[in-house]
Amino acid sequence: MDLQVCSNCNHNICAKQVSIFSSLNDEDIKKIVQMTGHKSYFKGDYLCHEGDITSKLFIVNEGKVKLSKFNKEGKEQILRIQSNGSFFGEYYLFSDDEPYNFSAIAISDVKICTLSKTDMDGLLKDHPDINQKILGEISRRLIQTENLVQNLSTNDTNSKVAYVLLRLSERYGKVDKNQIHVEIPINREEMANYAGVTRETMSRKLSSFEQSGIIRTEGNKIIIIKDKEALTNFI
């Protein structure tokens, strides 16, 4: 992990990428940038561990991060994938001494900007509209978590794999001629951990979906969804 200055963040103002700050003017954005800490992490580095106690907002300026939980046997369950312009740790801005219930792990080299709870408290006082946007984002993520839990509770592996493909397509998919080209940010093992299945099951189901004409794979990083409705019907 290396310290970074803001000029190293690809010359982007990190806060401008974040949806909750979209209503702020350039002067306010500059004030936020002055508050932020800047760090870089290598692929595989932990940004935080489950059980850590700290209150800060993490902004992903560049790269990708997975939020995961691990059971006693070390089995990983991926909760979300965060990439450029997204943020996490928002729950802990509203609580004191509450431990993180996830670990954040870099799945590529990443550049991260952080805001402390103290700075966020002042920011929210001056811009109460940000509160509403954070609450809206929290509500959206709670719904996604409930959907993930519901999906994990099923024994239907078609449903589990279809769910992950659709979730990844929402964030990383590009529509082209009624097909969705998805650049997958994680490997097959991590896709399996996201879906709550074994790697072998993930590979088998992807092959089955491909043989059925629902998807097409191009190497390990590109999946083309040819029939989104068919995937949706599995869920």
How many alpha carbons fall within 13 Å on the CB side of residue 10?
A: 16
| The overall pTM is greater than 0.85 | no
Contacts of 96 (CB under 8 A, 6+ apart): 55
pLDDT digits (tens, 9 = 90+) for 50-77: 998 878 889 898 899 999 999 888 899 9
Contacts of 125 (CB under 8 A, 6+ apart): none
Contacts of 48 (CB under 8 A, 6+ apart): 54, 58, 89, 100, 103, 104
Q: Which amino acid is at 119?
A: D
Contacts 24+ apart (CB under 8 A), 187-191: 187/220, 188/220, 190/66, 190/76, 190/78, 190/107, 191/164
In order of 77, 79, 81, 196, 218, the CA distances from 201 in angstroms are 15, 19, 21, 10, 19
pLDDT digits (tens, 9 = 90+) for 178-220: 899 999 999 999 999 999 999 999 999 999 999 999 999 998 8
Q: Three-state secondary structure along 145-206?
A: HHHHHHHHCCCCHHHHHHHHHHHHHHHHEEEECCEEEEECCCCHHHHHHHHCCCHHHHHHHH
Beta strands at 179-183 and 222-225: parallel, antiparallel or unpaired: antiparallel
Tell how far CA 216 is from the center of its chain: 24
pLDDT digits (tens, 9 = 90+) for 71-125: 888 899 999 999 888 888 887 777 777 888 899 999 999 999 888 888 888 888 8
